[in-house]
Amino acid sequence: MLELIGLSATDEELYRVMLREPDLDLDALACRLGRGADELVTGMLRLEAAGLVTRTSREPACWRPVSPDVAIDVLVSRRRADLDRLREAAREWAAEMPAPDRYRPERLVEVVVGQESIAARFAQLMHATESELLVLDRPPYASRPDEADRTVRGLLAAGVVVRGIYSPDSLQLPRAVDEAHSAADAGERSRIHPDLPMKLAIGDRRQALLPLAGHDEVDSALVVHSSALLDALVRMFELLWEQALPIVRQEDDELDARLITMLAAGMKDDAIARRLGVSTRTVGRRVARLMEQSGAQTRFQAGAYAERRKHNTT
């Protein structure tokens, strides 16, 4: 893992041995690792430069490992600051380009091929987002949903506004409803739309990522930079947002909140019962009560009315 910050596998091995046995002196470490003293000192100096070990003032030199949670947090903060400076420099350099070059078609739209490349560009888009992330969420997925969820939580913690619109089929995946409510409880503004036309992610209204084709495999995608096309994608998101049903937080009745979301997603009683861990009869009674309270004629209307009523009272 430390290769990510420019250290070698042998440096990582040395650091981890020091964490497990912090009282070993230089000679004991050299014996344990089967390396010469000079090679070990060189490795110590690299670890020291990275902030993973500290050297005592007494002679001969003696190194002690820094706790990894502290050391890595410092490294991450330092790297993030460096990347922020690089991002600002990139924008300044882009502004130096002649306007005709900046707006050439091949610079406004890129084609990305392969699931790994698409997942990497999605991660890049999210990590570059500073103020607002807009997402249309529907299967299939190029990246692992749990990785995307962790990144979204990090954005929310950093004060980024995240708005997501889920398709019904995305909420029918295992644990998807729980994750959607958990994200809403963490601050994500989430809604459900019965007919999302595509997958889409837009970062800071400066860059968008969307599939090139609408079939079952995510093997090609478009990256759209600032342009009239990007403006149209943002406008489409806002129109879908107005049509979509809010996912309410679970503050009052967790069971009802999840039931309402599953109804709005079009799930059947038996599927809802399995997800909630209750009987089909219990689901039926709660659905009947919601329909009676709202005057709805259909299950979907009951879910929609209940979602909007809870949203409007929060």
| Domain boundaries defined on the chain | 1-96, 105-246, 254-312
Check if 1-96 and 105-246 are the same fold. no
- Radius of gyration in angstroms for the set of CA atoms belonging to the chain, rounded to a whole number: 26
Distance, CA of 242 to CA of 156 (rounded, Å): 22
Question: What pLDDT does residue 164 have?
Answer: 93
Closest Cα to residue 171, out of 205, 194, 199?
194
Q: Phi then psi for 167, rounded to 5 degrees?
A: -85, 155
CATH topology of domain 105-246: Endonuclease; Chain A (3.30.870)
Distance, CA of 15 to CA of 54 (rounded, Å): 11
Question: What pLDDT does residue 9 have?
Answer: 87
| Residues 61-88 pLDDT 10s | 677 888 877 777 777 777 777 777 777 7
Q: In angstroms, how far apart are the furthest CA atoms of the chain?
A: 84
Task: Assess whether pLDDT exceeds 50 at residue 296.
Answer: no
Percent of the chain, pLDDT > 90? 15
* CATH class in words for 1-96: mainly alpha
- Rounded to an integer, the average pLDDT of 251-280 is 74
Q: Confirm if 169 and 199 have CB atoms less than 8 A apart.
A: no
Distance, CA of 138 to CA of 228 (rounded, Å): 24
Q: Look up tokens 């958990």; give the residue.
A: 182
Q: Amino acid identity of 177?
A: V
Question: What pLDDT does residue 308 have?
Answer: 52
What percent of the residues of the chain are helix, what percent strand, and what percent coil, each to the nearest 5? 55, 15, 30
Instruction: Note the CATH number of domain 254-312.
Output: 1.10.10.10
Least confident of 78-82, 202-206, 310-314: 310-314
- Rounded to an integer, the average pLDDT of 44-70 is 78
Task: Assess whether pLDDT exceeds 90 at residue 132.
Answer: yes
Which token pair is 99? 């306007």
| Residues 83-121 pLDDT 10s | 777 777 776 776 676 655 555 665 688 888 888 888 888
